[in-house]
Amino acid sequence: MHFQQNTLPNGLTVLTEINPSVQSVAFGFFVKTGSRDETPGVSGVSHFLEHMVFKGSEKYSAETVNRFFDEIGAQYNAMTGEESTLYYATVLPEHFAAGFELFSSILFPSLRDDDFSTEKQVILEEIGMYDDQPSFVAYDHVMRQYFNRHPLGKPILGTRETVGALTAEQMRGYHRDNYLAGNITLVVAGKTSPEEVLELVNRHCEHWPAGTVVRDYPPFAPEKASIWLARENSQLEHVMQLAPAPDSKSRLRYAAELLTVLASDDGNSRLYWELIDPGHAESCDVSYNELDGLGTYMTYLGCEADETRANLERITKVYEQLRRDGVTSAEFEQARNKVATRIVIRGERPMGRLSSLGGNWLYRQEYRSIADDLAVLRALTVNDLNDLMEQFPLSQTVTVGVGPLASLD
Amino acid sequence: MPSSTIETCTLSNGMTVLFEPMPDVESVAWTLMIPAGAVFERPDQSGTAAASADWLLRGAGPYGNRELSAAFDDWGSQRHETATPTHIVMQGAALGGHLDKILPLYGYTLREPLLHDDEFEAVMIGVEQNLLGLEDDPRQKLMTELVRASYTDPWGRPADGTLDNLMNIDSDDVRAFLGNGLNPSGAILGLAGNLEIAAARDLVESVFGSWTPAVPAVVWPKPSGSRSSVASVELETAQTQIGVSFPSVAYSDADYYAAWAIVDILSGGMSSRLFHEIRERRGLCYSVSASLHTAPGAGRVLCYAGTTAERAQETLDVLLAELRNVAAEIRPDELARTKARAKSALIMAQESTGSRAGSLARDWFHLGRVTTLEEVRQKVENLTVRDLAQYLERHPVDQFTILTMGPAPLLADV
């Protein structure tokens, strides 16, 4: 594999990783803007804008966009998070140039008024869909509660009220302020050449407006809380918990990733044997989420309502034991082997490489090959995990339950 | 299309193993299918297959429950077991060099499962909790019931089980069920990725070669028939869930690729008819889709839409109109897009060991042979608008099964 990084005069970063032995090429535009970058009046605009991009530009109508991507057999989509918006496609090498031209054009969409009002209905339906799924409701509320006034507490989709009140003019303003070349990273991975990538970028992205965006990093300290939202028709109690973890630049992040696998991987882990194997819970896991300047451990528990209290205590017990007694070398090795398999499998497809490359660049401005990741993994020791737990033990700072319970008592 | 080598090997005990070496990958993936799916359950014991899939992995041969899981993890396996209507399916992947350590663990699992009584209660609680969890997902709940309503029993049975059947299942029932299913004569193993055929064949022979059939060959229930009906279930949700199905053909049918192409024209990409008419033009919903669901002997197209109650009737009306309209005209440009999407997906499947291992095993079950990706591409490439029109004459889009779940019932003119 061959890696190359270029920066255009307007500030656009271009990362290319060539792999001649795959069949396809993946490309993605990582725009460093998400729900945390929205002002309160426009909550949900990042995600809504992501939909509107596919409604086309001056050059391409919405219908043309959809038809053209299908004509070249592209597998494409977009996703919006708290900290970034990603537009991506995987295509056969012979369609790369055509797919790239289209995507780079619609990243600067027309935002036509009639498209805006039709798509607003679709967004409201998407909000309704998630409202019917208690685990999504729990996610929104635990983020809101944990981050409180910090910008990360805002819901990615916005609310019916904020989306309902949003105007096309506000969206145009948000796009103008955030879709600047210096705020975008283009990642290309797979079967292409550096020359082809540079030629396309020079032709289609050179005129993008220059500029960068300064992100707000307000001080933040989470406060303990526990909230129970009753839903009569819910069968299970869906509980989410957040606690502090290493931030995206911390050298402890690899250990944090491994710790959560060791603690909660399906089939063989501390939480699995304590809660799932005996049948106490339907699901229970903990994930590590790296964020810009922050990090979280997110614990999820799904179980019958009357087992909730006992299960939360079981989780506490697992976390306390891990912190007190450390990890064993056998479980450490097993977790490490599983993570190694995951890294290799993810790296076998261009889309898997694209997300690794983009994540590393967005958070750390660094390139890491598959070999680099495996080397770091191999160098980790049991002591690294125990050191991590000194600073960032698995814990349960904020709890939100959605389901039959109105309180834990 | 990149070329591929696929080799089939039938062991003397009847087990079939399919190998596909893939250059340029480090991983190897497996799909192991055991004929112990929901269709073999007693009618009042829906959930037996799901319980079997869990219990089976709780210790085997010299390994207790924890030791078995640890042994898989020692070699970094990513694995997952699930019950389907036809099989218990065990899938996974690891680095190629570890296959000789991992496959023997499956040998123990299939030949000497412990099935300890003291694990059984936890197994059944797990099945129940999973079903309660599905109740909290309106879309899954709807699709489960749509499939149940669309086929003759046992082919519409949910592989996850049925809540009010669980009390009818005891440990001896599950043991007997597995006794029938754990039979090499119906077992299929697909292996794809970083492997060398001669060595892999020796490995498979040493692990499974002496596995003797304990029971007569597997007898499959009569092939499925499909059914039509209209029903609604009241549910206090923000959205109304809409499910519509109509008859199609089985995977083994000569018409399969024509049927598949029509579903792709309806719902393959974002220029497809349902997405365009229902979401893009009218903004009626976020999620709308159609997919081809096949069982031995029959197939149905399953359509889904979720939308707020006030817009649900219009959504159902437009959905039915679009489905009926497909026979009126299929445009050449639509078929061209379907072909382009198929070609691209087939070539990209060559990058995924997991996808190939699954296809090998499923092909063998449905067809008794493996189709190469090039063969599939040719079949899709050869389709004409006329072929699709003729298919629709033989298999008209009607005899709908309609199921809705939401605050109010909907009207359907069928």
Residue in B69, B93, B136 closest to A268 by CB:
B69
Report the 10 Å Cβ neighbour count for B93.
27
ipTM topping 0.85: yes
Residues B152-189: tens digit of each pLDDT: 899 999 999 999 999 999 999 999 999 999 999 899 99
B282: chain A residues, CB-CB within 8 Å:
118
Domains of chain B: 7-208 (3.30.830.10), 229-406 (3.30.830.10)
Q: Do the Cβ atoms of B306 and A235 come within 8 Å? A: no
**Strand pairing category for B287-295 and A2-7:** unpaired
Are A232 and B236 inside 8 Å of each other by CB? yes
Q: Give strand ranges (E) for B165-238.
A: 188-193, 229-234
Q: Where are the domains of chain A?
A: 2-204, 225-403
Q: Is A58 exposed, middle or buried (0-12, 13-18, 19+ CB in 10 A)?
A: exposed
Helix (H) or strand (E) holding B78: strand B78-83
- B214 vs chain A: nearest CA distance in angstroms? 29
* A371 touching chain B per CB within 8 A: no
A85: Cα separation from own chain's centroid: 9
Q: What are the backbone dihedrals phi and psi of residue B160, each rounded to the nearest 5 degrees, phi first?
A: -75, -15
| A370 contact B CB<8A | no
d(CA A79, CA B84): 31
Cβ-based contacts of A330 with chain B (< 8 Å): 70
- Tokens standing for B348? 């990209």
CA distance B389 to B188: 36
- Inspect the interface and report whether the beta carbons of A73 and B351 lie closer than 8 Å: no
Residue B348 phi, psi dihedral angles, 5° rounding: -70, -25
Q: In what order do the strands lie in the sheet with B287-295?
A: B229-234, B401-406, B239-248, B298-308, B287-295
- pTM over cut 0.90: yes
Integer CA distances (angstroms), A304 to A169, A214, A266, A285, in order: 47, 45, 19, 16
Choose among B79, B132, B353: nearest Cβ to A267.
B79
Residues 172-201 of chain A with CB under 8 A from chain B are none
Q: CB-based contact (8 Å) between A131 and chain B?
A: yes
Nearest CA in chain B to A92: B344
Of B72, B287, B340, the CB nearest to A70: B340
- A267 close contact with B: CB closer than 8 A: yes
Residue in A397, A319, A407, A409 with CA at minimum distance from that of residue A148: A397
Q: Which residues neighbour B264 within 8 Å (Cβ) at sequence distance 6 or greater?
A: B272, B338, B341, B342
Chain A hits for B308, CB-CB cut-off 8 Å, are 124-125, 128
pLDDT of residue A317: 98
Distance to chain B for A291, nearest Cα, Å: 27
- Give me the active site residues of A, please: 50
A vs B: CB pairs below 8 A: 201
* Minimum distance, in Å, between the CA of residue B8 and any CA atom of chain A: 25
d(CA A147, CA A221): 8
pLDDT higher than threshold 90 for residue B227? no
A210–B contact, CB cutoff 8 A: no
Q: What's the CA gap between B401 and B244, in Å, rounded?
A: 6
Closest residue, chain B, to A235 (C-alpha)? B132
Do B222 and B187 form a contact (C-beta atoms < 8 A)? no
Same fold, A2-204 and A225-403: yes
**Contacts of residue B283 in chain A, CB cutoff 8 Å?**
118-122, 125
For chain B, say whether A112 makes contact (Cβ under 8 Å).
Answer: no
**Burial class of residue B371, CB neighbours in 10 A (0-12, 13-18, 19+):** middle
Q: Which residues of B touch A22 (CB under 8 A)?
A: 24, 351
Per the CB < 8 A criterion, the answer to whether A138 and A401 are in contact is yes
Rounded Cα gap, residues B30 and B101, in angstroms? 13
Residues of B in contact with A277 (CB under 8 A): 65, 122
Q: Which of A157, A282, A373 to mutate to test the interface with B (most CBs of B within 10 A)?
A: A282
Cβ separation A71–B282 shorter than 8 A? no
Q: Residue with structure tokens 């070609």?
A: B343
Q: With contacts defined as CB-CB under 8 Å, which chain A residues touch B26? A: 344, 348
Classify the phi-psi angles of B31: left when phi > 0, otherwise alpha if psi is within -120 to 50, otherwise beta: beta
CA distance A218 to chain B (A): 35
CA dihedral B148, B153, B157, B162 (to 10 degrees): 90
CATH of domain A2-204: 3.30.830.10
Region B349-375 average pLDDT: 95
Verify cis geometry, omega within 30 degrees of 0, for the bond prior to A393: no
CB contact under 8 A, A133 and B284: no
The residue-averaged pLDDT of B254-281 equals 96
Place B28 in a pLDDT band, splitting at 50, 70 and 90.
very high
Calpha distance B68→B61 (Å, rounded) = 9
Tell me the nearest-neighbour CA distance from A8 into chain B, angstroms.
31
Q: Which two tokens stand for residue B37?
A: 């799916």
- For B74, the closest of A67, A282, A337 (CB atoms) is A337
DSSP β-bridge partners for residue A158: none
For an interface test with B, the pick among A337, A402, A405 (most B C-beta atoms closer than 10 Å) comes out as: A337
- Mean pLDDT for chain B overall: 95
- Among B24, B270, B283, select the one facing A21 at the smallest CB separation: B24
Give, in order, the Cα–Cα distances in Å from A329 to each of A266, A384, B69, B77: 19, 12, 16, 18
Please return the burial class of B393, using the count of CB atoms within 10 Å of its CB with bins 0-12, 13-18 and 19+. Answer: exposed
* The three-state (H, E, C) secondary structure of chain A, written as one string: CEEEEEECCCCCEEEEEECCCCCCEEEEEEECCCHHHCCHHHCCHHHHHHHHHCCECCCCEHHHHHHHHHHCCCEEEEEECCCCEEEEEEECHHHHHHHHHHHHHHCCCCCCHHHHHHHHHHHHHHHHHHHCCHHHHHHHHHHHHHHCCCHHHCCCCCCHHHHHHCCHHHHHHHHHHHCCHHHEEEEEEECCCHHHHHHHHHHHCCCCCCCCCCCCCCCCCCCCEEEEEECCCCCCEEEEEEEECCCCCCCCHHHHHHHHHHHHCCCCCHHHHHHHCCCCCCEEEEEEEEECCEEEEEEEEEECHHHHHHHHHHHHHHHHHHHHHCCCHHHHHHHHHHHHHHHHHHHCCHHHHHHHHHHHHHHHCCCCCHHHHHHHHHHCCHHHHHHHHHHCCCCCCEEEEEECCCCCC
Phi, then psi, of A367 in degrees rounded to 5: -105, 135
> In chain A, what residues touch B25 (CB-CB under 8 Å)?
348
**Which residues in chain B have their CB less than 8 angstroms from residue A258's CB?**
none
Model confidence band, residue B215 (pLDDT cutoffs 50, 70, 90): low
Return the pLDDT at B248. Answer: 95
For residue A409, what pLDDT is reported? Answer: 83
Nearest CA-CA distance, residue B105 and chain A, Å: 15
Region A225-403: CATH code = 3.30.830.10
* Interface-testing mutation among A91, A159, A191, A235, with chain B (most B C-beta atoms within 10 A): A235
Phi-psi region of A326 (alpha: psi -120 to 50; beta: other; left: phi over 0): left
**What are the residue ranges in chain A where pLDDT is below 70?**
none
Which strand (E) or helix (H) includes residue B307? strand B298-308
